[in-house]
Each structure stands twice: as structure tokens, then as C-alpha cells.
Structure 1
Amino acid sequence: MRAHHPAKSAWLIEKHGTRRRRAWRKLHIGVDADTGQVLASELTSNDVDDGSQVEPLLDQIPGPLTSVIGDGAYDQTGIYSAVATRHPDADVIIPPRSTAVLSEDVETTPTQRDRHLQSIAEHGRIGWQNTSGYTRRALVESAISRFKRVIGNALRSRTDQRRKTEVAIAAHALNRMLELGCPKSVRIA
């Protein structure tokens, strides 16, 4: 349980204009799962919906995409349409929520999401993950882990524009390191 300190609260309000001292930022990145390269990045405040950043990330990617993989937070209709608008041939591989239902037009024109739901019903969630390519998301998580280990998990700049520049420089440095060489893991057993 936290104790409330009126003097400290007054100081924080006077110093920072709020009761809370710090706000954290979220880094949204688009990663090529094959190469580990960071293709796009957006830095937002912590109250921004993850799904709202898909379009800005897609706008930064120059070439065609084969797939867009995201976690369950991206299970939104707007994301499927945003990807279809920019990359009509791309697969959208997002696990539907446990409460998801098939669309009304499933019999005539099933959506990618409908096909995911049908596959989950037929093969189970793990079976869907294996057949859909969702397991490739682990490669993206490795890129995020690499970013945090090499660059760190804190930004040093104090203004939003400088933070965005810092993230862009960090992504460029990581991409350059990957170009210079990356270990190849081979399963032997």
C-alpha cells in the first residue's frame, strides 16, 4: 500500500504540473522477421492504442509485405482494412480474441479473420499458430529484445522530436550491425 504525502504531492504539482512525475513512452516497431531489420518505428505516449499505429508504420515501409503479424491487441477491423489497402496480398496474422465471432458474410466472402477463427475451431489455438505462421512472431520478439539489450530500455533525450531522432538512430545502428553479420543458429538435435 502506498502512503499519500501531501507535501510531496504539492511539490510535484508545483514542479511538474501533475501528481505523477514521469510518463513513459511506447515504441512501436515494424520488423522484417527474416532479417531482423527494423523497417519502421513510431514513438508514442503510453495512452495511445497500439492498433492506431499500424497505418503510420505501414506508411514507412517502402516495399510489398507478405504478412503482418501482431498480438491480440491488434485484433481490430481497421487493421485488416489498413493492411488490405496498402498491401492487398499480405496475410494478416493476428490471434482473434477468445470472444470473437464469425462475420455475417462468412458463407459468401469469408475474411482472413473468419478463416483464422475457423482454423482455431478445427485445429485449436496452438494448431492455428503453427499453420498460420504466427510462430514467426518470436523472431520479431527477438528483435525487440536485441533492441533493448544493445540500445537499452530508456531514452536519454527530453523532447519528443529528439526522442524520435534517438530511436531512428538506434534502429539504423542496429540494422547496420545486422548487415555486418549475424550468427546463424542450426538445430542439431
Structure 2
Amino acid sequence: MTKPAPKRYRTANWKAYNQALIQRGSLSIWLDTSMSWRATRQGKRGRAQAYSDAAIQFCLTIKNLFGLPLRQTIGFIQSLLKLAGLDWSVPDYSTLSRRQQMLQVSIPYQKRSGALHILVDSTGIKMLGEGEWKTKKHGAEYCRQWRKVHLGIDAKTLQIRAMEVTDKRQGDAQMLPSLLVQIPADQPIACVSGEGAFDTKACHEAIAARGAIGCIPTRKNARPWKGSSPGVLARNEILRATKRLGRAIGKRWSGYHRRSLVETKMHCFKLLGERVTARCFGRAKLQQGGRGC
């Protein structure tokens, strides 16, 4: 069968399009006065923490959003609190540096009804090494190091629903079960879309365990798997449909091309900075989590 011609999308309403581009540069920061800024006592021995996790996460989010050092972050937040008419104290830079290594980042999202269509992908963030121009002109003086960010987003709202940060040696398919675990068990998942690297038994079994359909293309030399588990049966069904319809039509029929939305989200993610400033893995993981907020 012949490959269908791709659709061409053209902007029809230029007035609304221009206004949307202008709104991208709008800066508005709302401070929730009901937020628990001071930490509550946990009933444990030792000195209690002065600031809550929400306060620390807010300060570090501002730091990553504007690319500020810790000391400048403190001054910026003091100005925001003064403009908001709040008399809250701001944690010092040593407290932020100490707390960010063990802080559990919670990525906010808006709940919606219906089953989710999860799009998964990963990208690399440079941690150490010279820039591209210096490397091209004079060569690299030392080995560049990278961290990998694995994202799972909602195809309808484009909100980040799951995220993991690993080293560069971690494969994409190995992190899919961990991403699905981050989605609450009471939230139904209709479909999980990913590239061909996720065509593994572990991924298909994790998707089938959530009662979802895997929209993952099989490899070109793929063969049927042996076994009768739900993940194996679902994957073999994808293989049969691909052989019957062809790879191009099979991808259009299954909605695989919606996975390009996660590539767009990766671009937005990298706009906040394509380099990790923290060398400690715990702080680097928190830094990427702050970007997801």
C-alpha cells in the first residue's frame, strides 16, 4: 500500500496566533498566602526544621527558572515577598543547598476525568564539559558527562505526570515501569505511546498491568514472542497489525504520531537550561524536578 501524503497545517487566525506568542513573555507570579511556609514539628528527636518542603521547593523553583545563584535567589524571593506584603523570612543559601539534596519534589498537575494517554521519551542534559564551539575549534580537554531525563506527559493537557533522572548509561525502556508507578493507581490509563526502544517484554508487561494499550512500533526484524502473558499477547497483536497494514499506515491508524508532542515538551524543558549546575546526583535530580514544576 502507498504511503499517505502528510497533512499541511497552516495558521488561519493570525491575530490569535500573535497574541499567543506575546503571552509567552508574560510574567505573573502568584503567592498562595495559605501555603505552609514554616515547618511543623514531626515529633522526632533533634532540632526541628524551620521551613517546610513547600517553601524550599518554591525557592529552588525560582532559582532554576531564572538561572540564579543561591544568594541572588534569596534576594529575589525577599523582593517578591515584600511586593506581596508578606513578612515571611527567607531561608539562607546554606539551608537551600543542604535541603535540596534530600527534598522530595512533587510535580503539580490538574486532575481530569477520563483515562490518560501517556507519551514517554527521554533526553540528555549536559553536566560537565565545554561548549560546542570550544570543542569544535580546540577539542575537548576532558570527557563530557550527561544526565538523562525521562518524562511521561499527558497527551491531552501536555502536563508532566511522571519524571525520572538517571545517569547516561540507563536505558529508556528500563525506566518505563518506574514512570507508570508514579501515576496513581486510581487514575486509569488508556494508552502508552513510545518509540521502538520500548519494544521489550518488561515494558509491555508494565503497560498491560495498568490495563492500558501499548502504542509502540515493533522492530523491523521483529518476530512473535513465545508465551501467553497479557504483555506478550498485546505485543504480538501489534506485530500482526503492522505486517498486515504496513508500518506507515499502522502508525497513523494507532495514533503513534501523537508522540511528537512529548518531543515538543522536551524542547520546552530544555529552554529553561540545557546544563545541570549541580554535580551531586541528588542535587541534580532535584534541579530537574524543579524544572518540571
Give the shorter-chain TM-score range.
Answer: 0.7 to 0.9
Aligned partners of 1:110 and 1:83: how far apart in 2? 11
Structure 2 residue 270 is matched with structure 1 residue 148: yes
Displacement of 1:110: 7.3
Aligned pair count reads 149
* Correspondence list, 1:32-43, <5 A: 32-43=154-165
SS of residue in 1 equivalent to 2:203 = helix
Identity, % of aligned positions: 34
Which stretches in structure 2 are left out of the alignment for 5+ residues?
A: 1-140
Aligned partners of 1:110 and 1:40: how far apart in 2? 25
Which deviations, in whole Å up to 9, do the C-alpha atoms of 1:61-109 show, x marking residues without a partner? 1222111111111110111111222x12x11111111111123468xx9
Which deviations, in whole Å up to 9, do the C-alpha atoms of 1:36-57 show, x marking residues without a partner? 1111111111111111111211
Which one of the candidate residues 197, 210, 231 is aligned to 1:73? 197
Aligned partners of 2:199 and 2:175: how far apart in 1? 13
Aligned residue in 2 for 1:12: none
Please tell me whether the aligned partners of residues 205 and 232 of structure 2 are also in contact (alpha carbons under 8 angstroms).
no
Amino acid of the residue matched to residue 241 of structure 2? S
Structure 2 residue 192 is matched with structure 1 residue 103: no
Structure 2 residue 286 is matched with structure 1 residue 162: no
Aligned partners of 1:127 and 1:105: how far apart in 2? 28
* Correspondence list, 1:1-189, <5 A: 21-62=143-184, 63-85=187-209, 87-88=210-211, 90-104=212-226, 111-149=233-271, 151-172=272-293
Q: 1:38 to 1:163 in 2, by over 3 A?
A: same
- Which is richer in helix? 1
Aligned partners of 2:276 and 2:232: how far apart in 1? 44
Which deviations, in whole Å up to 9, do the C-alpha atoms of 1:125-152 show, x marking residues without a partner? 1101011121110111111111112x12
- What's the TM-score once normalised by structure 2's chain length? 0.48
Please tell me whether the aligned partners of residues 146 and 168 of structure 2 are also in contact (alpha carbons under 8 angstroms).
yes
Q: 1:155 to 1:110 in 2, by over 3 A?
A: closer
SS of residue in 1 equivalent to 2:266 = helix
Which stretches in structure 1 are left out of the alignment for 5+ residues?
A: 1-18, 173-189
